[in-house]
Amino acid sequence: MLNKIWPIFIILSFSYAICSGNLEKLNSSIFDSTSDAINLSINLLGTMCLWNGIMQIANETSFVEKLTKLLSPIIKLLCPEMKKNKQIQKEISMNMIANILGLGNAATPLGLKAMKSMQKENPKKDTLTDSMLVFIVLNTASIQIIPTTVIAIRHSMGSTNPTQIVFPVWIATICAAIARYNSIQVIDKI
Amino acid sequence: MSIINFVSNLAMPLTILIIIIYGVIEKNKVFDTFLEGAKEGLGIVISILPTLIGLFVAIGALRSSGILDIIIHFITPLLNVCHFPSEIMPLAMLRPISGSGSIAVATDIMKRYGVDSNIGMIASTIMGSTETTLYTIAIYTSCVKIKKTRFVLLAALVADIVGMIVSVGICRIMS
């Protein structure tokens, strides 16, 4: 995707800047942008290391497993086809817990494993089942409890209160998650 | 509003506290485990750095050349109908497509309009409440080699739009 978008951005803006004579601004923005990227990365570095370390602790305790159990009634509601299959239910809820805790690196492999297990039960191998559909759409929601990356970005931009956005993010996430589930039901009927 | 602020500020320390207490109770070597995970975090940031540099340059150029203002100028009337701030539009468009691209755009917006301004808050909320939808769908369907994805993309994008509109709404209420 970026292989197409990136050159379009560059070609479009560079040629426009040359035509409109906006070259001084463009030149300084090129250098500013590279140092902005470095500054942001340095700021992200601290938060990402801290958060990954904390989540590694969560991963090695029974904390994750306990949360997984809490989630199982919701999974049964969302993916009724999987009611009988305990293993798939567990894989789905582990993926969701990893997402909630912001363990992006752990969430994706767990999610792919769940997809493979669901594919085994799939009668039509080239088409998504209802459960797979719900599962993928939920994974496109950012159900992270602490939006660490945004907090780090806000901090690096000199915000007076970087964590101020946590509550608004929760509300937006919950509304989007409900919209996700409902849009599946509505579009399915159409 | 002070309660919302309190909950927002409490979330991170409380999560860390619970996890560490859990680790101590279960007699985990908490600090060693922490170091292991933190090293991994180092790798993540280093791996996205080249992407960020490339995208920051492209987005900085879009902004400084003046072409972004022209694009915004054209779509503003349309956005005014649904009360969506046009300053956010570049982020809303790039967010489902590229994770690091949207980080670059969001940072650009916060820098330009102020991180604690209403626009900055909306950009932060959108970043925190949405995912890289297209990428997620691509890896989840390709890993099981499914071609007929039915309406998964449509449903996810509809929900993304809802999330973004709610983000705008809640930030307006809070400010």
pLDDT for A15 equals: 94
For residue A29, give Cα distances in angstroms to A21, A26, A34, B34, B61: 14, 5, 9, 39, 6
Asked, for residue A1, whether it belongs to a domain, the answer is no
Asked, for residue A54, whether it belongs to a domain, the answer is yes
For residue B26, give Cα distances in angstroms to B14, B22, B134: 18, 6, 40
How would you write the pLDDT of chain B (175 residues) with one tens digit per residue?
A: 678 788 888 888 898 999 999 999 998 899 999 999 899 888 888 888 888 899 899 989 998 998 888 888 888 888 887 788 988 998 998 898 888 889 999 999 999 999 999 999 999 999 999 888 888 888 888 888 888 888 888 888 988 898 899 999 999 888 7
pLDDT for A63 equals: 82
Distant-in-sequence, close-in-space partners of B15: CB < 8 Å, separation ≥ 6: A54, A145, A146
Q: Which of B36, B125, B147 to mutate to test the interface with A (most CBs of A within 10 A)?
A: B125
Asked, for residue A142, whether it belongs to a domain, the answer is yes
Portion of chain A with pLDDT greater than 70, in percent? 98
pLDDT for B167 equals: 92
Query: What residues in B contact A38, CB-CB < 8 Å?
Result: 49, 53
Query: What residues in A contact B147, CB-CB < 8 Å?
Result: 126
Q: Give yes or no for residue A103 having a pLDDT over 80.
A: no
- Cα separation, A128 vs B133, whole angstroms: 17
Count CB atoms within 10 A of the CB of residue A28: 12
> Over the stretch A110-140, which tens digit does the pLDDT of each residue have?
888 889 888 888 888 888 888 888 899 888 8
> Over the stretch A31-45, which tens digit does the pLDDT of each residue have?
999 998 998 888 888
> Over the stretch A10-29, which tens digit does the pLDDT of each residue have?
999 999 999 998 899 999 99
CA-based nearest residue to A184, from B162, B143, B75: B162
Asked, for residue A60, whether it belongs to a domain, the answer is yes
SS3 A102: coil
∠ Cα B32 A58 A67 (to 5°): 165
Note the helical H segments in A61-165.
63-78, 86-100, 104-120, 130-139, 148-156
Q: How far is A139 from chain B (nearest CA, A)?
A: 7
Q: Which contiguous run of DSSP H or E holds residue A60?
A: helix A23-60
Structural domain that includes position A174: 23-189
Q: How far is A168 from chain B (nearest CA, A)?
A: 6
CA-based nearest residue to B117, from A184, A164, A188: A164
The one-letter code for the residue type at B163 is G
User: Looking at A44-48, A76-80, A94-98, B84-88, which range is the least confident one?
Assistant: A76-80
Residue located via tokens 């752990």: A106
The DSSP secondary structure of A122-150, one letter per residue, reads -SSTTB--HHHHHHHHHHTB---SS-HHH
User: Looking at A2-11, A48-57, A74-83, B99-108, which range is the least confident one?
Assistant: A74-83
Query: What residues in B contact A108, CB-CB < 8 Å?
Result: 139
* Residue among B67, B130, B151 whose CB faces A187 most closely: B151
Q: Which contiguous run of DSSP H or E holds residue B136?
A: helix B133-142
Q: Which of A3, A38, A52 to mutate to test the interface with B (most CBs of B within 10 A)?
A: A52
Asked, for residue A128, whether it belongs to a domain, the answer is yes
Based on the structure, what is the number of domains in chain A? 1
Domains in chain B: boundaries: 52-174
Asked, for residue A11, whether it belongs to a domain, the answer is no
